[in-house]
């Protein structure tokens, strides 16, 4: 029974990693850009929500609703003012710019909020759990997982059912011809990064409510997100969820054997998939 | 009448100037205070790491964010050689290079499965895995780390001679030895890279950087080239790691595998100085050192400044400070580009 | 004048591809641009659509300089292109490929999804397929329909017969008069001189980045074309 419990905890943890990964996957899918500051932007959003809750007295949900458009704006500006200028055939400039951003953001947060661990107070949700007969699950992990599913359903609907999603896919296929269709690729990129940052805000809410965070934890979140994307296969959001679940289960199982092995077990699972199926478990047919 | 040449007048002058600088550098401990030697040690080791990262990213197109793995494994292997096998630390540094080589093989095998930008994060993951595994190594202190035993640090090869020569204490003699080794390493690494780029391998690298497919079609084995560059950089990074931690004599997984110290600073040095040139990292390391001296008391502002500076350079001067200088003056101190020389062509079409 | 180029030049890096090209296109007319491979025809199209940026005054739309505008801005002024090689979006279905042609410029006009399906009925049957799963001729129909969806005032067709079987080319060309009946001016870039002259009011011939002949299609002689095409006296 303890193993079933471990498994369920792992699956639910995977929801959090899928939330970290969805924005990364979105941006890479549209403009082949890997944002090395992705993890630090999650942490930044968590502090934004924290400020809303502790200083303005908002409930976490209201703080999320306020923070998400702010983060959309941050993403939009970041893309229009900085990243669009360095996007091109050479992958080096955007990587180095986002790496610089990662270090800058981390140290900016350190300067502003100090290295102390913080947590977004979640009121009665903290520690609440539901008895499902065979296992008892925490309300917070369950909410995280359901949010991840909702985000993925929403993004897929946007991608495949709206004119904006059509523009995203067309620009990803062929930015020059998209221009001939009246689409400004750079504007599409700005909207995509803005959207990714709105998703990041959702991820940040759960990151901050479930556990303590401090300015230094961003890069590790980037790595989990990246592993989930690669395991799932590029371009598939459901694959990304599956990837997140695999990392989550590997981590909880590893931790059940030896608490020191939690993180390592997640990485090992990633390396095994990379070794056996380098294109991921659910690769997209067209690339 | 026409021939391809790499030589430039400035390049020939550089050879003489560099030889002079090396001689001065070797003699410096006779007059310089210990703190200056320590600063120079920092500059030289960072420059070595920067030249190696530049070889990977600037010439090889391999953007690794996981080079701290090789610094760390080199350092830990050096400690293992001293503590477990009882070797002299200087000899154990070579063991660090070997360990980095052995790590680099599975590391590259996995990382090369990832393309382009994903290669970067892949190397980062692999470095994390290496750190977490080494932290399990209880005989070398596990997660908290350990120190070199006193009897080992006081009996390092050559320190007796240095003590006698300069009349200094144990610790200072160790610094001087480390400094000399760092000088040898930076000259060997920079010289080696310079030689590499002027050889056939350099030509092949330039071809790959310009166009992978075309290079492949004219017979450049791009896969083997990537392996060669990666392994060379790993070994030399491992040697540097061993040397750095011989000087500090204390190790922990967090210090030896620090992303900030061994990769972030290094990337900033190369980007700010000018990627894809030998001169760039030299300028970059001086900028880094100057900023460190100026902002030492402001903690995280130092790293923030570096980050912002790197972003600004990428946006407004992608070839870095050396690129700006070189464009203004037409100077190439370490010419690696092949130019056609001969009588000037008059008239024409 | 609907569209006009004045001393238009263009280069790819060091290589100069256009040397002072002057062409005009009036509202509603059909202009053929012919010339051998590498004469600069496609470069001219890329310059007009903004894929290659220029001095503002080198391209005029209704008298206003548009030479420095982005492709998207130029398209929104009513200049649509059927690109060489068709270049459908592989991730989009046939219908989505058509819809994306009109989604950034919504103006009243003869063309809609239904009108395009009437013009090329086969596309309606295949509308759920990925665009790139179609035959070459059908893909060309999608590419033409995609450009029509924005109800352009000027339709640029770049090498629409290239690589297609003669019977398919005939079907495509049969549609051109119906498109003209919708009122749009057209530019037909072709290597096939006979096809081009069959639909055009006027013809320009290009060679080595320059216009070597400009004449009404009805008045042009074989000898004149031969001279302009190959740069030698007939």
Q: Do C39 and C224 contact (CB within 8 A), yes or no?
A: no
Closest to A191 measured CA to CA, from A33, A77, A35, A82 = A77
Please give the Cα distance from C135 to A194 (Å, whole number). 38
Residues 15-74 of B with CB under 8 A from A: 57, 61, 63, 65
More confident residue, B280 or C229: B280
Share of chain A above pLDDT 90, in %: 80
* Helix axes of A218-232 and A38-54: crossing angle, nearest 10 degrees: 120
A170: nearest CB among C80, C81, C100: C100
Indicate whether B118 and B177 sit together in one domain: yes
Q: Which of C51, C72, C89 sits opposite A182 (nearest CB)?
A: C72
> Which residue is closest to A30 within chain C, CA to CA?
C91
DSSP state of C187: E
What does the pLDDT average to over C13-21? 87
Residue C98 has pLDDT above 90, yes or no: yes
Q: Shortest CA distance to C31 belongs to which of C199, C219, C213?
A: C199
Strand pairing report for C185-190 and C154-158: parallel
For residue B164, what are the domain limits? 29-257
Which own/partner pairs from B294-299 qualify as long-range (CB within 8 Å, at least 24 positions apart)?
B299/A110, B299/A111
As for how many domains chain B has, the answer is 2
Residue A177 has its nearest CB partner, among C87, C99, C105, at C87
| SS3 readout for chain A | CHHHHHHHHHHHHHHHHHHHHHHHHHHHHHHCCCCCCHHHHHHHHHHHHHHHHHCCCCCHHHHHHHHHHHHHHHHHHHHHHHHHHHCCCCCHHHHHHHHHHHHHHHHHHHHHHCCCCECCCCHHHCCCEEECCCCEEEHHHHHHHHHHHHHHHHHHHHHHHCHHHHHHHHHHHCHHHHHHCCCCHHHHHHHHHHHHHHHHHHHHHHHHHHCCECHHHHHHHHHHHHHHHHHHCCCCHHHHHHHHHHHHHHHHHHHHHCHHHHHHHHHHHHHHHHHHCCCCCCCCCCC
Nearest by Cα to A100 from A75, A81, A83, A84: A83
Residues B106 and B214 in one domain: yes
Using CA coordinates, name the residue in chain B closest to A270.
Answer: B125
- Closest to C89 (Cβ–Cβ): which among A169, A182, A184? A169
Inter-chain residue contact C83 with A177, CB threshold 8 Å:
yes
d(CA A112, nearest CA chain B) in Å: 10
Low-confidence ranges of chain B (pLDDT < 50): 345-349
| Chain B interface includes A112 (CB < 8 A) | no
Higher pLDDT, A132 or B334: A132
For residue B346, being part of any structural domain is answered with no
Best to test chain C binding among A171, A182, A186, A285 (most C CBs inside 10 Å):
A182
Alpha-helical (H) ranges within B138-262 are 150-154, 159-166, 170-198, 200-210, 212-217, 222-248, 253-256, 259
Q: What angle do CA A185, A188, A191 make, to 5 degrees?
A: 155
Contact list in C for residue A172 (CB cut-off 8 A) is 91
Same domain, B213 and B264: no
Instruction: Mark whether B68 and B165 lie in a shared domain.
Output: yes
C89/A177 Cβ within 8 A: yes
Structure tokens at B308: 């912002």
| φ, ψ for residue C19, nearest 5 deg | -125, 90
Cβ pair A82:B311 closer than 8 A: yes
C-alpha to C-alpha distance for B249 and B262, rounded to whole angstroms: 17
For residue B310, what pLDDT is reported? Answer: 93
Residue B4 is predicted with a pLDDT of: 63
Give the DSSP H or E segment for B338: none
How confident is the model over A277-281, as a mean pLDDT?
86
pLDDT of residue B2: 65
Q: Who contacts C117 (Cβ-Cβ below 8 Å, separation ≥6)?
A: C123, C124, C127
Taking a contact as any Cβ pair under 8 Å apart, which residues of chain C between 2 and 61 contact chain A? 49-51
Structural tokens at position A154: 């929403």
Residues from chain B that touch A93, judged by Cβ atoms under 8 A, are 314, 318
CA dihedral B79, B83, B89, B93 (to 10 degrees): -40
Say how far apart CA B79 and CA B95 lie, in whole Å.
10
Backbone angles phi, psi at B2, to 5 degrees: -90, 140
Residues B276 and B149 in one domain: no
Report whether pLDDT(A212) > 90.
Answer: yes
Chains A, B: CB contacts within 8 A come to: 120
Which one-letter DSSP state was computed for residue B7? -
B23 in any annotated domain = no
Helices and strands, counts by H and E, chain B: 17, 4
The verdict on B258 touching A (C-beta cutoff 8 Å) is: no
The encoded tokens of residue B217 equal 């079609």
Mean pLDDT of C211-224: 86
Chain A stretch 12-71, residues whose beta carbon is closer than 8 A to a beta carbon of chain B: 28, 32-34, 36
| Residue range C56-79, pLDDT digits in tens | 999 999 999 999 999 999 999 999
Pull the structure tokens for residue B268: 């900033």
Instruction: Tell me the torsion sign for CA atoms C194, C200, C206, C209.
Output: negative
- CA A133, A136, A139, A142 torsion-angle sign: negative
Nearest-CA distance A178 → chain C (Å): 8
Whether the Cβ atoms of residue C207 and residue C39 lie closer than 8 Å to each other: yes
Query: Which residue does chain A place closest to B319, by CA atoms?
Result: A93
- Who's near A106: CB < 8 A, 6+ residues apart? A40, A43, A215, A216, A218, A219, B303
Task: Give the pLDDT confidence score for residue B60 in this predicted structure.
Answer: 86
> Would you call C13 exposed, middle or buried from its count of C-beta atoms within 10 A (0-12, 13-18, 19+)?
exposed
CB-count exposure of residue A152 (10 Å: 0-12, 13-18, 19+): buried
* Beta strands per DSSP E along chain B: 3-5, 146-147, 250-251, 339-341
Going B54 to B55 to B57 to B63, the CA torsion angle's sign is negative
In chain A, the percentage of residues whose pLDDT exceeds 70 is 98
Pick left, alpha or beta for residue B298 (phi over 0 → left; psi -120 to 50 → alpha; otherwise beta). Answer: alpha
Out of C91, C100, C146, the one facing A286 most closely (by C-beta) is C91
Q: Do C150 and A182 touch (CB under 8 A)?
A: yes
pLDDT at residue A147 tops 70? yes
pLDDT computed for residue C232 by the predictor? 64
Residues near A264 by beta carbon (within 8 Å), at least 6 away in sequence: A254, B129, B132, B133
Q: CA-nearest residue of chain A to B304?
A: A104
Say whether the C–A interface has 3 or more Cβ pairs within 8 Å: yes
Task: Say if C75 is an interface residue toward chain A (CB within 8 Å).
Answer: yes
Position B125 scores a pLDDT of 93
Has residue A214 got a pLDDT over 80? yes
Cα(B182)–Cα(C142) distance, integer angstroms: 66
For A83-124, what is each residue's pLDDT tens digit?
999 998 888 899 999 999 999 999 999 999 999 999 999 888
Q: B304 to chain A: which residues are within 8 Å by CB?
A: 103-104, 107-108, 111
- Length of chain B equals 349
What is the C-alpha separation between C198 and B129, in angstroms, rounded? 69
Asked if B184 and B270 sit in the same domain, the reply is: no
In angstroms, what separates the C-alpha of C4 from chain A's closest C-alpha? 19
Residues in A whose CB is inside 8 Å of some CB of C read 163, 166-167, 169-170, 172-174, 176-184, 286
Q: Which region among A136-145, A155-164, A275-284, C167-176 has the lowest average model confidence (pLDDT)?
A: A275-284
Summarised one tens digit per residue, pLDDT across range A164-199 is 999 999 999 999 999 999 999 999 999 999 999 999
Q: How far apart are CA B100 and CA B95, in angstroms?
A: 9
Question: CB–CB of A226 and B121 under 8 A?
Answer: yes
CB-neighbour burial class of residue A229 (10 A; exposed 0-12, middle 13-18, buried 19+): buried
Set out the domains of chain C in order of their start, with CATH numbers. 3-230 (3.40.50.300)
Residue B278 DSSP label:
S
Q: Quick one: pLDDT band at residue C234, thresholds 50, 70, 90?
A: very low
How far apart are the C-alpha atoms of A248 and A251, rounded to whole Å? Answer: 5
Residues B122 and B265 in one domain: no
- What pLDDT is recorded for position A193? 97
Listed by start position, the domains of chain A span 2-115+159-276
> Residue C6 class from Cβ within 10 Å (0-12 exposed, 13-18 middle, 19+ buried)?
middle
Question: For the residues A205-233, what does the mean pLDDT come to?
Answer: 94
- Interchain proximity A271–B264, CB inside 8 Å: no
Structure-block tokens of residue B322:
């050396």
Residue B236 contacts residue B99 (beta carbons within 8 Å) = no
Site of tokens 């090992």: A268
A-chain residues within 8 Å CB-CB of C50?
A: 179
Same domain, B211 and B281: no
């Amino acid at each position: 029974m303890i193993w079933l419990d471990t498994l369920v905890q792992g699956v639910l943890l995977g929801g959090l990693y899928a939330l970290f990964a969805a924005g990364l996957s979105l941006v890479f899918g549209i403009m082949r850009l890997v944002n090395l500051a992705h993890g630090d932007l999650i942490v930044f959003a968590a502090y934004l929500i924290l400020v809303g809750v502790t200083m303005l007295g908002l409930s976490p949900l209201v703080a999320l609703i306020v923070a998400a458009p702010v983060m959309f704006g941050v993403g939009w500006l970041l893309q229009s003012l900085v990243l669009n200028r360095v996007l091109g055939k050479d992958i080096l400039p955007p990587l180095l710019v986002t790496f610089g951003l990662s270090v800058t953001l981390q140290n900016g947060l350190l300067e502003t909020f100090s290295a102390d661990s913080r947590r977004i107070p979640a009121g009665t949700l903290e520690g609440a759990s539901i008895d499902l007969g065979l296992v008892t699950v925490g309300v917070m992990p369950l909410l995280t997982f359901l949010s991840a599913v909702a985000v993925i359903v929403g993004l897929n609907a946007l991608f495949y059912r709206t004119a904006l999603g059509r523009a995203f896919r067309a620009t990803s296929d062929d930015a020059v011809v998209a221009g001939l269709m009246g689409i400004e690729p750079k504007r599409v990129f700005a909207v995509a990064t803005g959207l990714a940052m709105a998703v990041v805000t959702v991820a940040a809410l759960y990151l901050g409510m479930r556990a303590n965070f401090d300015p230094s934890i961003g890069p590790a979140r980037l790595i989990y997100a990246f592993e989930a994307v690669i395991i799932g296969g590029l371009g598939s959001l459901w694959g990304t969820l599956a990837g997140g679940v695999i990392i989550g289960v590997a981590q909880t199982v590893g931790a059940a054997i030896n608490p020191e092995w939690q993180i390592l077990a997640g990485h090992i699972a990633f390396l095994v998939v990379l070794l056996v199926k380098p294109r991921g478990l659910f690769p997209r047919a067209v690339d | 009448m026409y021939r391809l040449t790499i030589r430039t007048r400035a390049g020939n002058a550089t050879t003489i100037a560099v030889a002079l600088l090396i001689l001065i550098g070797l003699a410096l401990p006779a007059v310089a205070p210990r703190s200056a030697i320590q600063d120079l040690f920092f500059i030289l080791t960072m420059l070595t790491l920067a030249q190696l990262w530049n070889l990977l990213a600037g010439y090889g197109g391999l953007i690794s964010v996981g080079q701290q793995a090789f610094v760390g494994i080199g350092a830990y292997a050096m400690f293992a050689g001293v503590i477990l096998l009882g070797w002299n630390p200087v000899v154990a540094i070579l063991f660090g290079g070997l360990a980095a080589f052995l790590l680099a093989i599975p590391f590259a095998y996995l990382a090369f499965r990832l393309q382009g930008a994903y290669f970067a994060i892949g190397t980062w993951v692999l470095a994390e895995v290496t750190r977490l595994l080494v932290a399990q190594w209880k005989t070398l202190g596990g997660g908290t780390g350990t120190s070199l035993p006193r009897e080992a640090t006081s009996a390092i090869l050559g320190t007796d001679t240095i003590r006698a020569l300069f009349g200094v204490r144990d610790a200072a003699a160790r610094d001087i030895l480390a400094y000399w080794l760092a000088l040898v390493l930076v000259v060997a690494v920079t010289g080696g890279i310079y030689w590499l780029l002027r050889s056939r391998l350099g030509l092949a690298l330039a071809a790959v950087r310009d166009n992978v497919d075309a290079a492949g079609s004219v017979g450049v084995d791009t896969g083997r080239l990537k392996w060669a560059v990666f392994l060379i950089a790993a070994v030399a990074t491992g040697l540097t790691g061993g040397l750095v931690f011989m000087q500090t004599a204390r190790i922990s997984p967090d210090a030896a595998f620090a992303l900030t110290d061994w990769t972030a600073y290094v990337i900033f040095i190369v980007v700010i100085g000018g990627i894809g040139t030998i001169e760039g990292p030299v300028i970059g390391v001086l900028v880094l050192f100057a900023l460190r001296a100026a902002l030492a008391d402001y903690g995280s502002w130092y790293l923030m400044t570096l980050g912002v500076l790197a972003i600004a350079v990428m946006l407004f001067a992608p070839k870095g400070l050396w690129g700006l200088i070189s464009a203004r003056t037409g100077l190439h101190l370490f010419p690696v580009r092949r130019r056609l020389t001969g009588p000037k062509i008059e008239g024409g079409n | 004048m609907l569209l006009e180029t004045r001393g238009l030049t263009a280069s790819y890096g060091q290589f100069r591809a256009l040397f002072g090209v002057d062409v005009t296109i009036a509202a509603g007319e059909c202009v053929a641009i012919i010339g051998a491979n590498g004469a600069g025809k496609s470069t001219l199209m890329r310059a007009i659509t903004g894929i290659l940026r220029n001095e503002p005054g080198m391209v005029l739309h209704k008298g206003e300089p548009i030479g420095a505008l982005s492709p998207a801005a130029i398209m929104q002024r009513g200049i649509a292109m059927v690109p060489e090689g068709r270049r459908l979006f592989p991730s989009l279905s046939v219908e989505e490929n058509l819809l994306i042609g009109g989604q950034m410029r919504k103006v009243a006009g003869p063309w809609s999804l239904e009108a395009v399906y009437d013009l090329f009925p086969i596309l309606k049957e295949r509308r759920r397929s990925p665009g790139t799963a179609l035959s070459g001729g059908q893909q060309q129909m999608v590419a033409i329909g995609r450009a029509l969806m924005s109800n352009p005032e000027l339709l640029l067709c770049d090498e629409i017969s290239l690589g297609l079987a003669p019977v398919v080319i005939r079907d495509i060309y049969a549609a051109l008069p119906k498109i003209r009946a919708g009122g749009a001016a057209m530019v037909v870039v072709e290597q096939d001189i006979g096809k081009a002259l069959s639909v055009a009011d006027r013809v320009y011939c290009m060679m080595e980045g320059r216009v070597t002949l400009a004449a009404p299609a009805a008045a042009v002689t074989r000898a004149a074309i031969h001279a302009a095409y190959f740069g030698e006296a007939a």
